[in-house]
Amino acid sequence: MKKITLIILSLFLLNCAGLLFGTKYKYYYSLNKPVSANPSDMNFSDSLIVIGFFISDKAINFELKNISNEPIKIIWDEATIVQFGEAKKVMHSGIKYIDKNNPQTATVVPSGATITDLVIPTENIYYLSGQYGGWEERDLFPTTDLGKEQFRTMIFNCKDQKFTLHLPIVRKDTQLTYSFEFVITDVQELKK
């Protein structure tokens, strides 16, 4: 009898979880600026760097190669993501979540070297207390509608939204701030 009750309770909870989280959505992106960027493959290059982007639900991932003849530095404490007109401090991989608001050491990329990294807004990192708690990451844009039409509408309204990664890079004594503007080209409902 206990086994049957547990099975029924488990099925009920699984069904409720589906109602609680609702439908999941996938975003599609392109690189809008700089103008010389290739929007279809989200790559950019100039005389200093070659960079390619992949945007996941939670972060802007990238691979950057220093093609100059001098080392470069990425100045993380001045990097930001601008979403909906609001500039947000970011952190990159290798930083402990508990240290998300602390100063971040610049990353040195030697001439000819490549790094793979990501950026995530620090405000999207939070601690959930309780028995099953721990550090969590919010999505860059909402990916579930929680079963509510208003959230579904809000998610689809993200199409054509633009957001920008400002990435300061120093070479010798000169600082350049690259501004990579992305656009959400499509939002699609994932089928269950």
Residue 56 confidence (pLDDT) above 50? yes
pTM of the full predicted structure? 0.82
The whole-number pLDDT of residue 17 equals 42
pLDDT at residue 33, as a whole number? 87
Q: What was the pLDDT predicted at 59?
A: 95
Scored b (16 or more CB within 10 A) or e, 76-101 reads bebbbbeeeeeebbbbbeebeeeebe
